[in-house]
Amino acid sequence: MKAIVTVMLKAGVLDPQGKAIGQALHNLGFAGVGEVRAGKVIELELSETDPDAARAQAEDMARRLLANTVIESFRVEVA
């Protein structure tokens, strides 16, 4: 079973990478772009077959390693 963990900086946390991407997009002529926030996506292939157990396992991984929960939030999708 696949779990997809999306990690993003929390609102209010400065995002220099997002700022740089936004500036580069403006320089390329994409004037309609507002604020840009950058994050990361982690795909996990799990041996678990129960979707609820797989979600719980991926959430535990995110809390313990994949996300810094002080400044980042995360979302887990199971497929």
List the chain pLDDT tens, one digit each, 79 residues.
999 999 999 999 999 999 999 999 999 999 999 999 999 999 999 999 999 999 999 999 999 999 999 999 999 999 9
Look up the pTM and report it: 0.91
Output the six-digit token pair for 47: 């041996």
Which pairs count as long-range contacts for 12-15, CB under 8 Å and 24+ apart, including other chains? 13/71, 13/72
Query: Where do the domains of the chain lie, and which CATH numbers do they carry?
Result: 2-78 (3.30.1280.10)
Taking the C-alpha atoms of residue 1 and residue 49, their distance in angstroms, rounded to an integer, is 6
pLDDT at site 54: 98
Distance, in Å, from the CA atom of 49 to the CA atom of 26, rounded to the nearest integer, reads 45
Classify the C-alpha dihedral 67-47-53-2 as positive or negative: positive
